[in-house]
Amino acid sequence: MKVRDIIKILDAKVLLEGDLDAEVVTACGSDMMSDVLAFVKDQSVLLTGLMNPQVVRTAEMMDMRCIIFVRGKEVDPSVVQLADQKGITVLQTRYRMFTACGLLYSNGLRGGCEGA
Amino acid sequence: MSMLSLKYVVPGDDFTRAGEASSDVKHKLKQLGYDSKAIRRVAIAMYEGEINMVIHAGGGEAFVEISPEEVEIQLVDHGPGIPDVEKAMQAGYSTAPDNVRSLGFGAGMGLPNIKKYTDELKIDTEVGKGTTLTMKVFAGH
Ligand SMILES: Nc1ncnc2c1ncn2[C@@H]1O[C@H](COP(=O)(O)OP(=O)(O)OP(=O)(O)O)[C@@H](O)[C@H]1O
Ligand SMILES: [Mg+2]
């Protein structure tokens, strides 16, 4: 699917528009950036309930296409700003982690980690 | 022959700024048209090291040498040092306090991850004096 499809599936609010036509096949849901850095293989989508600048930094280092902040958490504009000019789309969804991951999985996204 | 020498101060008192140096290096490598796989490996390894300097050592300095063949990164801190490097290299070993875990780090995966993504890694450390990480990533590997 494309990043723009995620917006529809998760009824998400777009906080920063990156490359909406970027093709994504895998995703990872985690609040531990350590694990994301260690286990995620592909350019993919990051779903997280964590809200600090290191979420964006982690996505940036891993060439991720899209960050999704789950459960409608207020996102600090300075955090979003860090993703600017890097092609990363930043979304916010009211769904909780489990539901957001489930919705994306049932629409075709797969696990992007070692051992899936 | 070096294409570019870079130096950064990594502040130890501001977690929100951790990763600025790695981000800048990534940006510069892109501008140089460096091999994208090597860029990703450099970015992840340097970022892990930069985060370590901030959460374990009160900050430090980063020196980066970019040549067409390789990127060498040296991370120098004057923190507490690592008493048992072999143990620190094990996946899952971490002395990070709970507040670091609530920030999304402290799984004990950083050093093993640096090892995985670099072609060479040297750790010079002395308890009470500090730690220097020297890592190399070869282009086109
Ligand atoms: N620069 C450093 N100065 C002092 N101790 C360090 C330094 N870097 C690593 N360590 C020690 O080595 C341990 C393992 O480091 P590693 O990066 O693998 O895990 P972590 O930083 O604890 O967690 P993670 O990297 O998963 O967020 C740390 O918990 C710490 O005790
Ligand atoms: Mg670490």
> Does A34 contact B104 at a Cβ distance shorter than 8 Å?
yes
Residue A27 has pLDDT above 90, yes or no: yes
On the question of pLDDT at A26 being above 70, the answer is: yes
Residues with CB under 6 A from ligand 1: A 34; B 48, 52-53, 56-57, 77, 79-82, 88, 93-96, 105-111, 131
Tell me how far apart the alpha carbons of residues A78 and B13 are, in angstroms, rounded to a whole number.
Answer: 18
* pLDDT at res. B1: 58
Instruction: List the A66-69 sheet strands across, edge first.
Output: A13-16, A89-92, A66-69, A45-48, A26-29, A110-111
Structural domains in chain B plus CATH codes = 4-138 (3.30.565.10)
Mean pLDDT computed over A1-6 = 97
- How far does the CA of residue A8 sit from the closest CA of chain B (Å)? 28
pLDDT digits (tens, 9 = 90+) for B42-95: 999 999 999 999 999 999 999 999 999 999 999 999 999 999 999 999 999 999
Q: How far is CA A110 from the centre of its chain?
A: 13
Q: What is the pLDDT of residue B140?
A: 81
* Average pLDDT of span B111-119: 98
Question: Where along chain A do its domains lie?
Answer: 3-106
Closest CA–CA distance from residue A108 to any residue of chain B (Å): 26
Longest Cα–Cα distance in chain A: 35
Q: What pLDDT is stored for residue A116 in this prediction?
A: 61
Give the DSSP H/E element, type plus range, for residue B115: helix B110-117
Residue B119, both tokens = 């072609």
Residues 6+ positions from B27 with CB-CB distance below 8 Å:
none
For the stretch B10-23, pLDDT in tens is 999 899 999 999 99
- Give the integer Cα–Cα distance in Å for A2 and A24: 6
Residue type, A81: Q
pLDDT of residue B141: 65
Q: Between β-strands B59-66 and B4-11, what pairing exists: parallel, antiparallel or unpaired?
A: antiparallel
B38 in Cβ contact with B138 (< 8 Å): yes
Q: Which residues of A touch B40 (CB under 8 A)?
A: 61-63
Do residues A24 and A105 lie in contact, with contact meaning Cβ atoms separated by under 8 Å? no
**What is d(CA A43, CA B31) in angstroms, rounded to the nearest whole number?**
20
User: Which residue of chain B is at minimal alpha-carbon distance from A55?
Assistant: B104
d(C-alpha A6, C-alpha A90), whole Å: 11
B interface toward A at CB cutoff 8 Å?
A: 15-19, 22-23, 26, 36, 40, 43-44, 47-48, 51, 91, 101, 103-110, 112-113
Calpha distance B77→B131 (Å, rounded):
5
Q: Which of B24, B17, B12 is nearest to A78 (CA)?
A: B17
Whether A112 has a pLDDT exceeding 90, the answer reads no
Q: What pLDDT digit, counting tens, does each position of A28-86 carry?
A: 999 999 999 998 887 789 999 999 999 999 999 999 999 999 997 789 999 999 999 88
pLDDT tens by residue, B126-139: 999 999 999 999 99
Which among A54, A60, A63 is the nearest to B104, CB-wise?
A: A54
pLDDT of residue B2: 72
A60 with B113: Cβ contact below 8 A: no
Asked if B104 lies within 8 A of A31 by C-beta distance, the reply is yes
Please list, residue by residue across B52-73, b when 16 or more beta carbons sit within 10 angstroms of its beta carbon and e when fewer do. Answer: bbbbbbbbbbbebebeeebbbb
pLDDT for B26 equals 97
Residue B70 to residue B75: CA distance in whole angstroms? 16
| Domain A3-106 CATH (choose: 3.30.70.20, 3.40.50.300, 3.40.1390.20, 3.30.930.10) | 3.40.1390.20
Interface ipTM > 0.90 = yes
pLDDT of res. A77: 93
